[in-house]
Amino acid sequence: MAAATLTTRRIVGIVVAVVVLFVLGFVIGWVSAPSDEDSTIRVSVPSDENSTCGDENSTSSETYDMKYIAEKRKEEMKTKDGFHEKLIEILNASKIGENLRYFSKRPHVGGTPRSKELADEIEKRWREYKFDKIEQPKYNILLPYVDPDISNSVQILNSKGDVTFEFSGREKLADPSENDTTMIAPLLGYAKQGSAKGKLLYVNYGRSEDFQVLKQNFSISNCSGYIVIMRYGKIFRGDKVKHAQDCGAVGAILYNDPADYAPEGQDKVYPQYIWLPKTGVQRGSIFNGRGDPLTPGLPSVDGVFRLPEDKANLPKIPATPMPYGDAVEVLKIMEGK
């Protein structure tokens, strides 16, 4: 039976990352929210000795205050609606498109020079907008990178050990104009560096229930010796790899199934349509935690205790993404089983 091999390579370094907070929601709230003085409303309720239940002649300051509240709310809504209309008036669709192109036209992975360039540009614009306080706090965090000259690979070997198919880990661009020397090769961030060799095992979306199907329908409760291939969707990619790892798999492959990512047909994909072409690869982190892996629950600033990398909660098996155009070739060796 043919076997599959998986090789992942990464360079993990401590880098200085610039954190930029997106504050559009804050700005809208700041512009439209009433001041403390305007939003303070008095509500008074008469004491027991001054109130008579059922007395038509009793004077209720509560009734008066509720009317006051209602009128005040109407005034506030008019003010908010006015700000909303003004905000809509100043929005410019062409400017939004221009900004989107500027910030997305080149890769800007965290910790890279391009990421810093964009942070500086945002800071410059915010200063032009007269924001009260602007700063770029620096954090030292563990980030995964790949050597630009080396990429992940997936190979199919025949019974003699000869390579009959190989995905070299390079993405073929659907639009040549998008070629960029800073493009990061397809990877799953924080995957273990190394190689894995084994038989292929398909586990649908890689959910807990999918692994249960293996156990109940195929009597496979241990994935030892298998490279698990799963399709993207339904759950976080990191959970998929974690489930494969917990099952004992030696490696994992993720791909975008055209049924989910090209539902109108593989001839109706980017750049003419919005759907993923057969050469497209989804990248992303598979770290099952928050923040910096080396400082869990703590800010990643100078002076804070850091875990050794081998003690961090990082994935323990090699894993890589691949385009569905190549995944089809890998799945063929399973003969539909």
DSSP state letters, 128-164: HTT-S-----EEEEEEEE--TT---EEEEE-TTS-EE
Does any domain span residue 246? yes
Q: How far apart are CA 81 and CA 108, in angstroms?
A: 37
* Per-residue pLDDT, 15: 39
Same domain for 210 and 317, yes or no, is yes
Parent domain of 307:
155-333
* DSSP one-letter code for 295: S
This prediction has a pTM of 0.73
Q: Are residues 178 and 104 in the same domain?
A: no
Strand partners, 5: 155, 197
Give yes or no: residues 255 and 116 share one domain: no
In a domain, 175, yes or no: yes
Within-domain flag for 304: yes
- Categorise residue 27: left if φ over 0, alpha if ψ from -120 to 50, beta otherwise: alpha
Q: How confident is the model at residue 276 (pLDDT cuts 50, 70, 90)?
A: very high
Per DSSP, the residues of 53-109 read TT-TT---HHHHHHHHHHHHHHHHHHHHHHHHHHHHHH--HHHHHHHHHHHHSS---
**Looking at the domain assignment, is residue 139 inside a domain?**
no
Q: What's the pLDDT score for residue 21?
A: 35
Write the CA distances from 144 to 105, 186, 192, integer angstroms: 22, 12, 10
Same domain, 184 and 253: yes
184/292 same-domain check: yes
- The helix/strand/coil state of 219 is coil
* Pair (285, 179) in one structural domain: yes
Q: What tokens were used for 163?
A: 């390579």
Domain assignment present for residue 55? The answer is: no
Residue 29 burial (10 A CB sphere; 0-12, 13-18, 19+): exposed
Q: Using the 8-state DSSP alphabet, how is residue 277 labeled?
A: P
User: How much is the average pLDDT of 260-264?
Assistant: 96
In a domain, 94, yes or no: yes
* CA angle, 119 then 321 then 148, to 5°: 55
Do 234 and 189 reside in the same domain of the chain?
A: yes
CATH number at residue 192: 3.50.30.30
Is 315 part of a structural domain of the chain? yes
> Which run of H or of E encompasses 243?
helix 237-246
Note whether 98 and 198 are same-domain residues: no
Whether 99 and 199 map to the same domain: the answer is no
The pLDDT tens digits for 280-336 are 999 999 999 989 999 999 999 999 999 999 999 999 999 999 999 999 988 988 865
160 and 228 in a single domain? The answer is: yes
77 within a domain of the structure (yes/no): no
Highest mean pLDDT among 38-42, 183-187, 229-233: 229-233
Task: Looking at the structure, tell me whether residues 175 and 312 fall in a common domain.
Answer: yes
Number of independent structural domains in the chain: 2
138-147, 154-163, 235-244: which is most confident: 235-244
Output the average pLDDT for the chain. 81
Residue 57 has pLDDT above 80, yes or no: no
- Per residue in 197-236, pLDDT tens? 999 999 999 999 999 999 999 999 999 999 999 999 999 9
Residues 168, 295 within the same domain: yes
